[in-house]
Amino acid sequence: MHTLTPFHIAIPVSNLEEARTFYRETLGCSEGRSDSHWVDFNLFGHQLVIHYAPDRVPQKSHNAVDGHDVPVPHYGVVLEWEAWHRFVELLKAKNVAFAIEPYIRFKGQVGEQATTFFYDPSGNALEFKAFKNIDQLFAK
């Protein structure tokens, strides 16, 4: 088995300061290096970089999954079960508008998971999820 290492993702944002505030204040990400057109964040131990892209036009595609219209593309983090629940409560307290309200997906099936979707201010879709049994992360 290998050691899990942090991923790196760079995403476009149409308003750098608005996105910076969202990732820092709403999601609680600590800020790392930055320049006039980009900012690094620690997203649960992973490197998220927002890049200013003034001509950004967000995609609004969806795929049906478990009776919900899942935004595509999207990114996020798989959290531990209890950490996900605490994070969702934090999001609710900060009045985050959910694209898909927090719920249990694939209930009673292999891969049962808690999940929720929402958008950042630039229209980037995020999903945060948790498996009650993390061994089912890639189960078929």
Co-location of 76 and 95 in the same domain = yes
Residue 49 has pLDDT above 90, yes or no: yes
User: How many structural domains is the chain composed of?
Assistant: 2
Residue 53 has pLDDT above 70, yes or no: yes
What gap in Å lies between CA 68 and CA 63, rounded to an integer?
A: 8
Q: Which domain holds residue 34?
A: 8-52
The pLDDT confidence band at residue 34, using thresholds 50, 70 and 90, is: very high
Query: Is residue 43 in a domain?
Result: yes
Query: Is residue 58 in a domain?
Result: no
Q: Please, are residues 129 and 78 in contact by the beta-carbon 8 Å criterion?
A: yes
Q: Residue 63's pLDDT is what?
A: 82
Q: Residue 3's pLDDT is what?
A: 80
Q: Please, are residues 28 and 89 in contact by the beta-carbon 8 Å criterion?
A: no
Secondary structure of residue 25 in the 3-state scheme = helix
Secondary structure of residue 70 in the 3-state scheme = strand
Query: Is residue 31 in a domain?
Result: yes
pLDDT tens column, 70-111: 888 999 999 999 999 999 999 999 999 999 999 999 888 888
Q: Could you count the other beta carbons within 10 Å of the beta carbon of residue 81?
A: 13
The predicted model gives 15-41 an average pLDDT of 97
Co-location of 43 and 92 in the same domain = no
